[in-house]
Amino acid sequence: MKKAILYLNQFFGQVGGEDIADYAPEIREGLVGPALELNKQLAGEAEVTHTIICGDNFMGSNQEEAINTILGFLEGKEFDIFFAGPAFRAGRYGSACGNICKAVKEKFNVPVITSMNDENPGVEMFKKEMYIFEGGASAAAMRKDVKAMAYFGKKILLGEELLSAKEEGYYPRGERHQIWLNPPVAASDRAVDMLINKLTGKNYITELPIPKSDLVPIAPAIKDLRKATIAFATTGGIVPVGNPDRIQSASATKWGKYDISETSDLVQGEYMTIHAGFDPAAANADSDVIVPLDALRAYEKEGKIGKIHQYFYSTVGTGTTQGEAARMGKEIAAELLSAGVDAVIMTST
């Protein structure tokens, strides 16, 4: 039999109400409050072995301590899945469930499941990182919400196919994958029907909701270029001939850095592009059209900039996933920081 552990706040852990919301974490063997229902719903596949109880305020104001204490409780315990809540519309409880689930998932690499009402701020904070089931507004929905968490938990434990957010009832985690429609409806029919609905003012549902853009804070302007070290980075696949790092021509997962401290021009026969997404002829004949080293050297000579960083950084942008691009970006950023680079010219194709 698989083993599960449940996290509750002081109220559902039947310790007390708001007056003891700064109750320090505690672990009890066996079932407390909602754990009884969870255990019942998991029956046959898993048993709830322990219940963890922590005051919402304690988690809120001593988060690190609370999490470390709880992770300490779990150390050495055998468990296959971790549940928290349901937290309904309680904001602090929702945030606590999210925080503890995240920490448990990271440390023990077990599936974590919680449940919150759509107005619980914990949903926005944590929905990308875990399965949060769409729950009721108050404890009146307890049985239903626990059942939903348990049902899905059993599916995970049994290795069954996990369906989309909408079908299963959890909040979308921002992972889009292809599925086959059942019954099958051809894209031509979907498109024409959608257009007729749009033209006649009827409802239709787009299959690709446009996500909101998420911008990073603008870095400050460089005060004095004459003292600045400037680096080149590119997603245009410029590499020394021979592609020593074997960067992929598409869907890249690798990047390379190439020493240009002795180079003032990326000439044919020494540099080339390995990018598969465009006609490479121009860049192979003169890689400066993608990494304009010759021009920046001129500015360096004029004294307009301090110096050009010893390396340029290169990968391929086509088909590269955002996750991979972000990872490579982080790795390159770390190098640039430690090398004391002040500014970057990024060229993309």
Partner 1 sequence: MTKEIEKAGITIVQMANLIPIAKTVGANRMVPTISIPYPLGDPNTPKEQQWKLRYHRVGIALEALTTEIQEQTVFKVKV
Partner 2 sequence: MKLEFGNFYVKDVQFGSETKYENGTLTINKEEALAVVREDEHITKADLVIAKPGDNTRIVPVKEAIEPRHRVGGGTIFPGVTEELMQAGNGTTHCLKGCSVLVVGQHWGGFQDGLIDMSGEGAKYTYFSQLQNICLVADTDEEFEKREQQKKNHALRWAGMRLAEYLGKAVADLQPEEVERFELDPVTKRAPEVQALPSVVYVMQLQSQMEESGYNDLVYGWDTNHMVPTFMHPNELMDGAIISGSFMPCSSKWSTYDMQNNPTMKRLYQEHGKTINFLGVILSNLNVALEQKQRSAMFVAQIAKSLGADGAIVAEEGYGNPDADFIACIVELEKAGVKTVGLTNECTGRDGGSQPLVALDELANAIVSCGNVSELIELPPMETVIGELQALARDGLSGGWDNDPILGPSVREDGSIIMENNAMFCGDRVLGWSTKTMVEY
Sign for the CA dihedral angle at 119, 127, 212, 215 comes to positive
Is residue 249 near partner 2 by the rule CB under 8 A?
yes
Judged by CB under 8 A, which of 177, 217, 223, 338 binds partner 2?
A: 177
Judged by CB under 8 A, which of 109, 203, 213, 338 binds partner 2?
A: 213
| 288 contact choice in partner 2, partner 1, none (CB below 5 to 8 Å, kind-dependent) | partner 1
Minimum CB distance to partner 2 smaller for 177 or for 223: 177
Distance (Å, whole) CA 163 – CA 33: 30
Is residue 283 near partner 1 by the rule CB under 8 A?
yes
Is residue 72 near partner 2 by the rule CB under 8 A?
no
For residues 12-41, which are near partner 1 according to CB under 8 A? none
Which range in 36-44, 77-85, 193-201, 271-279 contacts partner 1 by CB under 8 A?
271-279
Distance (Å, whole) CA 158 – CA 152: 10
Is residue 165 near partner 2 by the rule CB under 8 A?
yes
Minimum CB distance to partner 2 smaller for 76 or for 201: 201
Q: CA dist 26 to 7, 10, 87, 142, Å?
A: 10, 10, 18, 22
Identify the bridge partners of residue 272 per DSSP, sorted by sequence position: 239
Taking the CA of residue 263 as centre, how many other CA atoms within 13 Å lie in the half-sphere pointing to its CB? 19
| 75 contact choice in partner 2, partner 1, none (CB below 5 to 8 Å, kind-dependent) | none
Closest CA to 171 of 114, 99, 214, 111: 114
Per-residue tokens: 335: 């190098």
Closest CA to 113 of 80, 68, 75: 80
Per-residue tokens: 303: 């004294």
Residue found by looking up tokens 């391929």 in the block: 316
Q: How far is the CB of 149 from partner 2 (least distance, A)?
A: 17
For the chain, the residue count is: 349
Is residue 179 near partner 1 by the rule CB under 8 A?
no
Is residue 211 near partner 2 by the rule CB under 8 A?
yes
Q: How far is the CB of 302 from partner 1 (least distance, A)?
A: 10
Site residue total, partner 1 (CB under 8 A): 57
Minimum CB distance to partner 2 smaller for 261 or for 322: 322
182 residue type, one letter: N
Judged by CB under 8 A, which of 57, 263, 310, 318 binds partner 2?
A: 318
Site residue total, partner 2 (CB under 8 A): 53
Using only the alpha carbons of the chain, give its radius of gyration.
27
Distance (Å, whole) CA 135 – CA 143: 10
Determine the straight-line distance between the first and last CA of the chain, rounded to whole angstroms: 55
Distance (Å, whole) CA 149 – CA 146: 5
Residue 320 CB neighbours (<10 A): 19
Q: Which residues bind partner 1 (CB under 8 A)?
A: 213-223, 225, 228, 230, 233, 235-236, 277-283, 285-286, 288-290, 292, 294-296, 298-299, 304-305, 315, 325-326, 328-330, 332-334, 336-337, 341-349
For partner 2, the binding residues (CB under 8 A) are 162, 164-167, 172-181, 184-192, 194-196, 198-200, 204, 206-208, 210-211, 213, 248-251, 253, 276-279, 281, 318-319, 321-324
